[in-house]
Amino acid sequence: MPSDQQETAITTDLLFQPFESEKLELKNRVIMAPMTRNFSPNSIPGDDVAAYYARRAQNDVGLIITEGTTVNQVSATGYPGVPAFHGDALAGWKKVVDAVHAAGGKIAPQLWHVGTVRKPGTGPDPEAPGIGPSGISSKGKRKAKVMSDSEIADTIEAFAQGALDAKNIGFDAVEFHGAHGYLIDQFFWDVTNERDDRYGGSLEKRCQFAIEILQEARKKVGDEFPFILRFSQWKQQDYTAKLAQTPEELERFLIPLSEAGVDIFHASTRRFWEPEFEGSDLNLAGWTRKITGKPAITVGSVGLSSDFIESNFLDQEGNDVALRRLDDLLQRMADDEFDLVAVGRALLQDPEWLIKVKNEQWQDIQEYNRVSIKTLY
């Protein structure tokens, strides 16, 4: 961000205020968003993964949410090099936790099952089929196995055990991946869930799978371990999809999940500044906080000056777009729209991003480059 552009209207000190909820305390309001990296051979994170996360902790990120880690169900993984969260992989994750804590940070794993997104032939068991609530991957496409009652029960147990393992090896919280068209979200979404049992039908029934995961996990870990749920309206299969068309429908979706044990909601959007419903400037995290009263994380192109944003990086008045968007973020924080900010690609590119923002070293921030996905730094 050029230093000769307009200064932010509200101080960035808002990002560095401590956060405290009933179950989680953080030194500031900035979270590293989960980003799949594919650098874990045999599904086991190594020393390079530990160093990658520790580097962000060393640069004052308040909470790191790991890349998606697959639970102990045979069809959970869908991509090569993705880390597991069971078996031999847990020893690798213990090294990650220790490295992040030694650097002064806190960390939560994201527990994940890809569902119908799984591609045939993917390891570690190439014969394992993709599975989902109705075997539907997207509108009009049936390419996976419909989950049986026993498979649903086994998957619920796998998520719950993952939460317990996270607690036992020293993680500070756990996030359940219920967004972007993966398994939990496939139960949420009426396009991919055509079941007529207790897991399908109304919006409330489509929440039942996630509710049982939360309830079973809570039984295992006790009351004090923080649960984060990431959810989204959009799907990889359909960027325009919506679970809730109105605030009233969003309330029907969120309240049962809140009552089931979610402590913090991670409301995933592609652009944080976009209003979620007509008639209000609130984004999805803002509505989530308003409805549930629980802390909410906003996310979506924070810190980016090119991807998804206007060409030439300048608006019609010649102001740097990314800096103007940071103004918007800070104003929303000042208005108590949300509590925490998740930063993805900006932190992937530049582990010192937050320190540079704090010191207003705009010219020193590395602009995100897609090539960086191919490296682990």
The pairing of strands 141-142 and 136-138 is antiparallel
What is the residue type of 364?
D
Residue 286 to residue 260: CA distance in whole angstroms: 21
Torsion from C-alpha of 337, 341, 345, 351, nearest 10 degrees? 150
| β-pair partners for 296 | 265
Sign of CA dihedral 165, 168, 169, 170: positive
What is the length of the chain? 377
In sequence order, what DSSP letters do the residues of 187-201 get, joined into one string? HH-TTT----STTSS
Residue 324 to residue 315: CA distance in whole angstroms: 9
Peptide bond connecting 124 to the previous residue in cis, omega within 30 degrees of 0: yes
Residue 350 to residue 39: CA distance in whole angstroms: 18
How many angstroms separate the first and last alpha carbons of the chain?
A: 22
Cβ-Cβ contacts under 8 Å for 266 (sequence gap 6 or more)? 65, 175, 179, 228, 229, 230, 231, 296, 297, 299, 342
Residue 22 to residue 197: CA distance in whole angstroms: 35
- Look up residue 250 and give its two tokens: 């969003």
Q: Output Rg (C-alpha) for the chain, integer angstroms.
A: 20
List of E strands, 236-293: 264-268
Catalytic residue among 52, 53, 182, 199: 182
Cβ-Cβ contacts under 8 Å for 128 (sequence gap 6 or more)? 74, 75, 118, 122
Is residue 182 part of the annotated active site? The answer reads yes
| β-pair partners for 235 | 180, 238
Sign of CA dihedral 342, 345, 350, 351: positive
Kindly list the catalytic residues. Answer: 182
